[in-house]
Each structure stands twice: as C-alpha cells, then as structure tokens.
Structure 1
C-alpha cells in the first residue's frame, strides 16, 4: 500500500488528502479537497503492484478513453496522473447510497424502481459501448443512487487490468481480478473475448436481484458460483412475485441467456424494452409504494440541554403512534426513523430509502417550562412542503401539540377519520406533562437492551406518584419485567404469573389498545405456547401496525414453531415497513439458520450491527451466526465483547461456552455454563444452552436440555434434526431420534 504521507506531499499543490474512504483489491480511495475548484473529490490510487504491471502509458491511455465519456448516468472522471510513484484518478464524491446498500436487506425493490434503475444503467452502458468501452464489472456496488437516479461508477481501466491479470502473475497473486463472480457473463468467466453484451448479462443479474431480493447465481465458493452460469438457469422472476409484468420478466430472462447471441444486441434495445414496460410496472400493486405512506423523522432537539433529546424523540414516537392508528396511512416504524436521526440526506433520498411518499420533519426547543415545536410535511417526490406550522406554549400543552400535528397531517393527506380513529387521536393516556416526561425517559432506557431494570422501575415509580397508575405506565412496567425474563435475568417464576394478571387487566380496561394483546403474546412465547403467542401478537399488530416489538416476536414465534415460510414472510414484511431496523434484519437472518443457510444473511446482519453496535442481542446473533459457519475466531471476538459489556446475560455465557467447546476447552465451557444454572430460561435459551454441552461431551445434560426445550416451545424440527452443527455429537445416540420426532410432531400440530 502507498504511504499516504508521500502521496499527500506529491499531490499537495492540487489536492489536500482528508482521509481514506475505502479500500478494495486493486485500489485505495481517499477523500480529498480540490484547491482549484473548492470541492471535495474522491482520489482512487491503484495498488503499486497493479500500477507497475499496467504501466503509466497504458493506464493514461485507458483513462483518457473513460474521461471522454459524458453521460448523465456515468460517474465522470475529473483528473488522472502519476504521483509518488503511483497511478491515480479523481472522481466526484456522490451523496447517496449504492444499489448494494439499497438491497442489503434482501427485500425486492418495487417493480417501478427496479425498472427505472435498470433502464438508466442500460442507457449508460449503451453510450459507453458505442464509444468502444466495456465496463466488465457491473454489480450493485458500482451503481450509485443519487437524487433518484442511477449512476454507473468505475468505468476506466477494466480492459487493461484484465490483460494484466492474464500476463502478470504478481497481479494475480495480490488478488486483483476484473469482474465479480456472481455477475460475470459466461464468456467473461471463460476468458473469451468480450463485447458490450457481457455487461448486459451482468445487468440482467442486477435486475434479477432487484426484482427478487435473491442473487441469480450462488454457490459454496467462487468456482461453484462461476460454474453455475454454465449449468443452471435461475427460476423466472415471476416465481417469487406475482406483480412483475410479463414484459419485465421476459427482458430479465433474455438478459441472462448464456449465449451472447441470444441476448439483446445493445443497451439501446434494453432501454426500449424496459421503457415499454414502465407503465405496466407502475400499475403493479404487489410491492408498489402506498399512496399515503409516511415517515415521521426524529424531531431535532434545539434545546441547549442535551438531556432533552429523549423528549424530542418521545414526541416523534407519539406522533408515529397516533398516525399508525389511522388505517388509511402506512407509517414507517420509529425504529427505522431513529436510524436517520441527524441525517444529512435529503427528503427525496429518504423517501426512496424508506419507500414512502411523504416525510414529516420537525424540531423541538425547550427552555424551562416553555416549549416550541416546528413541523413540516414534505412530498418526497417533489420536495414540495404540503404543510408547516410552529407551535408555542408550555410543557402542559405538549399533548395538544401532538394531537394538532397528527390531525394536520391527516388533513393534508385528505384522509377522513372514522369515529374510532378520531376518538383515539383525542385520547390522553398520560395527562400530566411531568409524568409523560418520566415515561419517555423510561421508554428510552428499555430500548437499550440490558439496561438496569432498577433505573426503569424507579422512573415509572416517580411517574406513578404524579399521574397515578395509568395504562401506558402499567404496560411499560409489565413489558420491562417480561423482557428481563426473556433475557434470563430473573429467577422468580412468579413474575410471569403476575405479568399475565396485569396484562389481562389492561386488556379489560383497553380492549382496542395494542399493549394488552402484545403483552399476552410475549407471555405466551415465554411459556412455550407459540400458537397463543401468534394470536396475541397478530391482534396487537391489527391494533397498532407500527409496533415493532410485536412484529419481531411474531417472527421469532413462527421460527420457534418451525414455520419457516410464514417467518420469512413476516421478516420481509417487517423489512418493508422498517427497512433500517436492526431487529428486522436479525429476524430475517435467524430465519436462514433454521433452513440451513446461515451464511445467506451474514452481510445483512453485519450491516445491522453497524447500525446498532451497542445492542448485545445483535452481537450475540452475529457471533452465533459466525459460529454456525465455523468462524470461531470471529465468534470469539463477539463473545469477548459481551463478556466486557454484559457478563450477567445468559446469552453471553452461551456464546463464550460455545466458543470454548469449539476450541476443545470442554472444562472451561462447562464451567461458564455452571455460572448461570440458577437462572430461569425459556425454550429458546434452553435449546441454545444444550449446544455447548453437546460439544463439550456432556451428552446426558445436552439431551435433557434439548428435550426440555422442545416441550417448552422451541421446536424448529429441521434445525434440530439436521441443520444445527452443534447437535451433531448427539445425533448418533439412541435418545436423540425420539426428541427429533417430538419436535417434528409439534411442528405438525402447530400447522393443524
């Protein structure tokens, strides 16, 4: 790698290096300031080995060709040259995301969006091909999404690099290749001569992935992935979605033909075919954007006291809850909205990211008891402000402000409220502003998985003293206690009985509120009554579709019951409604465990952990996934993090013991598990505790725990029978088949 200080000195007269943006197999990209034009740019510096093989003259010749490309959907080249003995070229820094980031959740794009992106990429390719340039590496990572349009990046030196990989062993040894296995055309994979139709095959792979959420060609390793395109035809895109027009499906199939002669002859033909289908895809309704879809973005805290952050967040959440009760609206969950807190993204990009037509933005300023709130409703397609207002008053007016904002949104979107919806908007579940403030603080703490329950309960106690035991305060208290049981952090078996009694009382007092139904669903899950859990959580979501916790528990209840198809459907719906939710990503990825494909969701999961790095359950899930894949060193890193941050959690003991057992340290594994023997576990945790015991040779204990887990409500039959690698030491024992059979029986009973 080039010394950045030498590079900075060599470029100092034109650019000031600000830091690295990223590094790949063939280059490092730096963020820099362009002195002459007063703008930030990206400087891509080739690895020295590659630069040496290419040679200055060949590099500059290729770059000159690429620099002549001037097209609205091609990322331009600003500059190029040699400095400090290395070759570089300069590009603009684009705001937005890559198509890969847009696809990371594994959820298909709306048909109209997929067709638009593919059309624009095809148009860019047609222009480049007419100028005798073949890209050679079309993939989602090289397609940028900027202001609603696709821009193809990394046109440049693909041809020269391809030649270098053939003729220079040093380049091959450092891992430089042109093309990405999943998107290579058959002729590129075979090393044959290429023309623009090779790029069109790669575009077909990208379009297939946008429409289905699945990569067209997969395999256990690179040779397997490459070999697939010679022996395998991906299922038609219509096999997974009913809303794809026949013409779009036919275009995708033709792009993926093995023979170049059977594909479209040019990008222009692809553009014509897709443009003919745009009206069809726009009218499809399976995954089309809801006409009254809205995201309530976190209101900015403009107060001088950072402690008021929870208040502005809480006001955002309450408006989301209000609007979610209006059936004519589709409201993005607060979980995804919170991921955009402090974002510099424009509303158009946010609209595309969250799949919504409208965005509500706002700010909150508090000074003592004085309160000022500003809010604006914006059309994400046009940037037009449809409504905006400022509210001034005191903390006692906060509920009136919340209701006025919600009603203004309903009016601006021309929604007629039913009598029940109108009454719910006027409800004041917590009447005192001071109690409401304490409630918001407690709610924020509960979201931080592993937060001390004593702090939460103390806040709720103070709120009770002011307000009296209102329904939301009682529901949050009960939810907090159930989550402690869920984490295995309580040993009092009577807690569940008391929680159920309170949940039923809440349901009697507020039968149409989500929390009573949701609490009964959580309790049923803890007891292993998965059918009861699904009933309660489904009813809760009917009352409040924005309840992310209820949707998450619905998904994991279906997983535990071995209902893989239903859990996949729930997970994908969760991601559609809440595309930035780490818990939605967790649910999708854990569903892959149970069908024996733990690696399929790994990228999604790793991205989710970057969004929620302090969440110990996310850390455990990622560590466990790596363990399933045999990556015990990575699993160990996550176990170490958990031991440092949440040593009291049984999930921590499980992951540490699992890694010890994988390392052959059976005694250490058992010792770590002994430390949590007194804790109360649900069926899910009981199952996982059986795994390190099985690997450590404690077969009798493992079998007992496994049988107990099945009876207590964790019975994904296929995972137990064959997919879980940690149970392999048990599968040859005579006691194992009856346990596996009982799990299969319970799966069948649930379906019945």
Structure 2
C-alpha cells in the first residue's frame, strides 16, 4: 500500500509512483489517519527533503551511521534544529525537534524514483522552501570556498625557491651528509635555470634543525616557494620524503615519498629535480634541459664521497676544510673524471686561506697553487662549471693580477649561472680594485639579491655604499651584516662611516670592535688611523711604533706580522703623506704588489688619489688607469 503525503489518499496498486489527484510522489504505507505534512511525515516528526539530483544510499533508522557528517544550522523562533546529513554523495536537509532521519523513506529504488520525480516536476509548499534553502546554502558555501581557492591560487608563476636542508631521521649524525648533500645537490641543479631564483646553500643552512615555518622562511629569503624533505637510512635502504609548498598561498604544490636503495641515490636526486621543474611549470631551453639531466658521475660511491666533502666544507672551520679535502680527493680517486670533485678540492684549498688556522694561512702560496691546479683539472673535464669559473677569476684576480682574464672568468660564470652570488660578489671586488665603482656597485647589488644572508656579501655592499657617499645606507647595511655574522670588515666600515660624519667616539668604538673580532696588524692599524684622525696623536704614535717594530722583525711571507701597508695606514691618519708613500714603496720593492691592489678601495688612501705618486704606483703594480 502507498499513500499521498498531500491529500492523504491510500493506493493499493504498488506499481503507481505518483498521486492521480495532485501528482505528488507516493510514499510507502497507509495514511492510517495520521495528520501528515506535505512530505508524508507527521507534524510532530522531523521533515526531510532529499535534494534533487543526488544519489541516496540506504540510511539506517538511527541516523548515526559511521561516516555521516552533520552540519548544524539554527533558525526560527521555535528553536528547532536543522541539519544537513551527508552520507556518501547524498545531502539531506532535515528539520525538526530531534533532527533524526525518517524511518519510512522506503528502500533505495523508491528514494531514487522520488528524487528523479522531484527534479522533473515543480515543487510546492514547504518542500520548495527547503530545497531552495538547500541550494542557496550550497551555492553560498561552494562560492566561498571557490573564491578562497581560486583567489589564493592565482598568485602568478613561481619565480623563486628555497630548498631547505633535509631533515635526517636516521637517528645517526654520521648520515647528515646525505640529508644536507641531497638538498645542496638540488640547489646546484635548480640554480642553473636562469628563470628561477634559488636561495644558495649559505642562506638556507641556518634553518637546519629548526622548526620549518614556511611563512617566516619565505619572507626572510624573499621566495615564492619552499621545498623541504626528510631522509631516513636503514642499512642500504633509503626513504626520501619531499614537499614543495607555495609560500604565497600556503598550498602544497607537490609531495612524494621515494623508497630506494642507497645505490640509487644519484638517479633519485635527478628524478626529484626534474619533478620540481615540472611542478613549477618552468619553460626550459634546450641547454637548460640538457643541464638538468646532466650526469656528473655515474659512480654512486664517488657521489657520496663528494656529498661528504661538501658537508665538511660548509662547516667553514679549519678541521672542516681538512676533512673536506680528504673526501674530495677520495671522490676523485673513485672517478678520475668527476669534475665536481676537483672543483670541490679547489674551493676547499682556497677557503683554507679564509677560515684556516695560522699554519694553513702561512702556507698561502702552496694552497693557492693547489687550488689553481685543481681548477684547471675541473674545467678541462667540464668547461660549463660556473662555480669553477668564479673561483678561478677570484684567484687570478686577487693573487696574480690578471685583470682581463679574471673579468672574463667572472663573466663566463655569470653567463652559465646568473644566480650564482659568489660570481657577482668577486666580480664586484675586482671592479672596485680597478676604481670602476659604479659597475662594482651594480654587481654588489646583484650578489646581495642572490644571497641576502651572506655576511661577506653584505660587507662588500656596505663598502660599496660608502664609496658612493651614501653613509646612512652604508651604516645600515654594515649593521645588518653584523646581525648575520660579525665580521671585522663590517666594523672597519662603520669606523670610517662615523669618521666621515664627525662621530669620532663611535668610530673608535667600532675600530676596537674590529680588533676584538680579528686581532691582527691590519685591525690594529685601523685603531691607529682613527686615533690619529680624532686628534689623539700620542695614542696613534704608540700603535705606529708597535707596528713598525713588528714589521722590522717579522717575516714578510707571513700574514701575521705587520705589513708596510698597515704602517702606511697610520701615517695617512697623521697626515704625513711622504711617509705614506715611503712605506707603500716598501711593499712594492718586496714584490708584494698584491697588498697594493686594494689601495683604491681603501678609505684611508682616498685623499691621495690625486697625488702623482699614487697614480704612478697604481701604474707600476699593474692596475688599469
């Protein structure tokens, strides 16, 4: 038996679907004298309307089946509850005091027929109101989330990315080289793409071991996307998880987990790099595509040794450089054609002069000779190594005085990798030595844009700003660099800046700070110079005497005894020009022209630039006029 919910007429023909009087869909069961609402439910029972067009899977009598999602609404003065109950693909609007599903809705086929009929004919009364309300709610909710999705995902193409050091979840610090090295390898690969700015390893290493805050990191590094990952090694088994997030929208662009063997590390690294490029929808040239797929070695053991070398080199300590050299040499022995291993050796030997201990620095000629030899080997194997070209330019420019060749190396490095910050940084220093200050300033800006968190690059930027006469900006940049990592050159720049504006107390405080950070004849001479300019001649002459005595008994080949240039610095502060040139000549006669190549970028000697003796000295040391 069926019944009409509108006229309450009973039908004994079970094949009928609709009331013959008013066309309403029939429901199972007799009217039984009940006073029903238009959908067939008693007035004191919940009313349920099934939204047209949605499939209706079976519902139990309780309405509390697993998987049901209920979203509550409140309205009306009777404060009865209204619910949307969703099960599978079905949405049911329900009102009433108890807000439970109807037990008399019939079987699946009946409800499907009812749904189809309701969609095909006009609805009347309360049913129409409920359905209209349901559609309005869906439109509002869908519109809201649609707006949120499309507005947040329309931030434009991704032009910059930071690859963070991967987290080592192996529980063994000895495998840090894998997590750090994998991230650095991806940085190296991606940085070769001219259309993508990639934060260098020096900028992202500070985030190692810290909580990954995508918003804060992207803001500090000024990037559109951030990539993070985790590496777990268990014997020969590797599990690598990676996530690529659009930092502007906080949406996950891509995430994947790789379960591989350690022997497959090389192939996995290349696969991840290629996938990142695909997900970023980068348009690559033919050369860029070839560069991304390039295989520097097929020897997995050599590659792991190379990663260990980079891991130790990034520590920037004397012990780290020693270990790095050992690992790079071992990698080259495993694969004699592995150009990156020789480039790593060259970098490590060169950096020994920067961060090495006293013994290593005193062996400057030997270490630089070794660096040059390994660079030649690396570039002979692979002329497309941008980093090797930049290091070569720095060595021949700072130690051999081959200005034209050095500039060509820097330009080639920048051509191969426009994002490589060190190429712009070293090139800026070369241009400053030649007095090409406007060009040097432009390169300093490019270096800073490529690596905002390098203290060395910041130091050069501050000096370049001083040379342009923007003292306020130079002070701000020097202080920013100190916040990154205290460096004696930053304090020296501050000392000269404060002297320039007549703040001698601040100048002296910063000169002393430079000596505290790096106690040497060079920083001692800065104190002597500031004392002299400030009118404290007795203090300046005391320092001068100390430097002259050190020079008299020192070894000219040692970096830890006073140089003639450091003595000349104090005489410049005292205004004794003749003695300045007398002492500068000593360096020239001792075949130490390399100590005179920086005279044009030394603030204490700026007043001497118009002196014919200065111009003659620049000519004799080989600097372009």
Q: Classify the TM-score, shorter chain.
A: 0.5 to 0.7
Matched, 1:642 2:518: yes
Q: CA offset at residue 359 of structure 1?
A: 1.8
- Residue 614 of structure 2 is matched in structure 1 by 740
- Residue 704 of structure 1 is matched in structure 2 by 585
- Residue 218 of structure 2 is matched in structure 1 by 351
Q: CA offset at residue 747 of structure 1?
A: 13
Q: CA offset at residue 473 of structure 1?
A: 1.4
Contact between 2:167 and 2:179, CA under 8 Å: does it hold in 1? Answer: yes
Q: Pick from 161, 175, 178 the counterpart of residue 294 of structure 1.
A: 161
Taking the aligned partners of 2:552 and 2:179, their CA distance within structure 1 comes to 44
Deviates more, 1:370-379 or 1:704-713: 704-713
- Residue 241 of structure 2 is matched in structure 1 by 374
Q: CA offset at residue 322 of structure 1?
A: 0.8
Taking the aligned partners of 1:430 and 1:672, their CA distance within structure 2 comes to 51
Matched, 1:422 2:289: yes
Matched, 1:512 2:393: no
Q: CA offset at residue 656 of structure 1?
A: 3.0
Taking the aligned partners of 1:450 and 1:422, their CA distance within structure 2 comes to 36
Q: Pick from 319, 334, 340 the counterpart of residue 472 of structure 1.
A: 340
Taking the aligned partners of 1:417 and 1:727, their CA distance within structure 2 comes to 47
Q: Pick from 539, 559, 563 the counterpart of residue 412 of structure 2.
A: 539
- Residue 397 of structure 1 is matched in structure 2 by 264
Taking the aligned partners of 1:589 and 1:748, their CA distance within structure 2 comes to 27
Taking the aligned partners of 1:290 and 1:660, their CA distance within structure 2 comes to 54
Q: CA offset at residue 451 of structure 1?
A: 2.0
Q: Pick from 316, 328, 340 the counterpart of residue 460 of structure 1.
A: 328
TM-score when normalising by structure 2 = 0.61
Taking the aligned partners of 1:743 and 1:407, their CA distance within structure 2 comes to 54
Taking the aligned partners of 1:571 and 1:411, their CA distance within structure 2 comes to 32
Taking the aligned partners of 2:551 and 2:476, their CA distance within structure 1 comes to 30
- Residue 548 of structure 2 is matched in structure 1 by 670
Contact between 1:560 and 1:715, CA under 8 Å: does it hold in 2? Answer: yes
Contact between 1:362 and 1:373, CA under 8 Å: does it hold in 2? Answer: yes
Contact between 1:296 and 1:316, CA under 8 Å: does it hold in 2? Answer: yes
3-state secondary structure, aligned to 1:489 = helix
Counting matched residue pairs gives: 440
Q: Pick from 519, 522, 531 the counterpart of residue 654 of structure 1.
A: 522
Contact between 2:433 and 2:599, CA under 8 Å: does it hold in 1? Answer: no
What stretches of structure 1 of length at least 5 have no aligned partner? Answer: 1-287, 614-618, 644-651
Q: CA offset at residue 623 of structure 1?
A: 2.9
Superposition map of 1:223-302 within 5 A: 291-302=158-169
Seen in structure 2, the aligned counterparts of structure 1 residues 365 and 485 have a Cα distance that, compared at 3 Å, is same
Taking the aligned partners of 1:368 and 1:656, their CA distance within structure 2 comes to 54
Contact between 2:593 and 2:621, CA under 8 Å: does it hold in 1? Answer: no
Matched, 1:679 2:557: yes
User: Residue deviations 1:528-567, cap 9 Å, x none?
Assistant: 2333322211211221234332222112112212122112
Superposition map of 1:295-694 within 5 A: 295-344=162-211, 346-449=213-316, 451-452=318-319, 453-468=321-336, 470-484=338-352, 489-491=361-363, 493=365, 496=368, 499-526=371-398, 527-596=400-469, 600-613=473-486, 619-628=487-496, 629=498, 630=504, 631-643=507-519, 652-659=520-527, 662=531, 663-664=539-540, 665=542, 666-672=544-550, 677-679=555-557, 690-692=568-570
Structure of higher RCO (CA pairs closer than 8 Å, 6+ residues apart): 1
User: Residue deviations 1:70-98, cap 9 Å, x none?
Assistant: xxxxxxxxxxxxxxxxxxxxxxxxxxxxx
Contact between 2:433 and 2:601, CA under 8 Å: does it hold in 1? Answer: no
Q: What root-mean-square deviation, in Å, do the aligned CA atoms of Structure 1 and Structure 2 show?
A: 3.8
- Residue 163 of structure 1 is matched in structure 2 by none
User: Residue deviations 1:224-269, cap 9 Å, x none?
Assistant: xxxxxxxxxxxxxxxxxxxxxxxxxxxxxxxxxxxxxxxxxxxxxx
Taking the aligned partners of 2:265 and 2:223, their CA distance within structure 1 comes to 27
Seen in structure 2, the aligned counterparts of structure 1 residues 528 and 485 have a Cα distance that, compared at 3 Å, is farther
